[in-house]
């Protein structure tokens, strides 16, 4: 798998109200958001961007699944996890990302994090940040299909160790 390609997930925390809600019912790792880092072309110029779902608008990007400039917010914590990928996996990840672009944010999941319970699904139309990233990893073939059912209530804190393990296993497989 020595392609030099990687899907880079960015796990962050903010000193904001929504970050506190997300962390409340999850774990003490401390991440409240995850997105994928890429270069997008805006007005013909390359711009480092984050692709993901956000509860609040950020700059010109509305709430929901969007591309946003990578510096759209000030983070109190940030960790990048580069998951090695084949050309097929990498292309499939970003093709699926285009398919969910513009979808609304899943407020039900945020509510579930806040109260520490699994809230009934919204039919797969809306995404929170970690569900979107998990869904993309699943649909490009990186994440095992057996984890599909767990994606509906996965927090950034729960996805972080999964992403770390995937990155570690795939790096070791390449050596």
Strand ranges, E, within 14-124: 33-42, 45-54, 64-69, 77-85
Q: 92 falls in which pLDDT band (50, 70, 90)?
A: very high
The confidence score (pLDDT) of residue 69 equals 87
Q: What is the pLDDT of residues 102-117, one digit of tens each?
A: 998 887 666 665 545 5
The confidence score (pLDDT) of residue 174 equals 61
**CA atoms of 107 and 137, how far apart (whole Å):** 22
**CA atoms of 119 and 70, how far apart (whole Å):** 30
Q: What is the pLDDT of residues 25-47, one digit of tens each?
A: 555 667 888 999 998 887 888 98
Q: 125 falls in which pLDDT band (50, 70, 90)?
A: confident
Q: What is the pLDDT of residues 62-85, one digit of tens each?
A: 789 999 888 888 888 899 999 999
**CA atoms of 56 and 62, how far apart (whole Å):** 7
The confidence score (pLDDT) of residue 72 equals 85
The confidence score (pLDDT) of residue 73 equals 85
Architecture of domain 5-174: Alpha-Beta Complex (3.90)
* Tokens 């997105």, residue located: 35
Residue 61 φ/ψ, nearest 5 degrees? -80, 130
The confidence score (pLDDT) of residue 136 equals 94
Domain boundaries, the chain: 5-174
The confidence score (pLDDT) of residue 23 equals 55
Residue 18 pLDDT > 80: no
The confidence score (pLDDT) of residue 101 equals 93
Predicted structure pTM score: 0.84
131-152 average pLDDT score: 84
Mean of per-residue pLDDT scores for the chain: 81
């Amino acid at each position: 798998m020595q392609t030099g390609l990687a899907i880079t997930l960015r796990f962050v925390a903010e000193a904001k109200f929504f970050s506190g809600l997300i962390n409340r019912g999850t774990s003490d790792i401390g991440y409240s958001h995850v997105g994928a880092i890429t270069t997008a072309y805006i007005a013909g110029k390359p711009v480092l961007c984050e692709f993901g779902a956000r509860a609040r608008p950020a700059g010109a990007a509305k709430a929901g699944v969007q591309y946003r400039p990578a510096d759209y917010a000030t983070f109190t914590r940030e960790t990048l996890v580069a998951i090695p990928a084949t050309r097929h996996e990498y292309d499939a990840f970003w093709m699926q990302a285009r398919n969910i672009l513009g979808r609304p944010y899943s407020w039900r999941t945020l509510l579930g994090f806040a109260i520490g319970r699994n809230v009934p699904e919204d039919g797969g139309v809306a995404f929170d940040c970690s569900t979107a990233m998990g869904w993309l990893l699943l649909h490009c073939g990186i994440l095992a299909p057996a984890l599909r059912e767990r994606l509906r209530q996965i927090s950034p804190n729960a996805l972080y160790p999964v992403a770390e393990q995937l990155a570690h296993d795939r790096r070791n497989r390449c050596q």
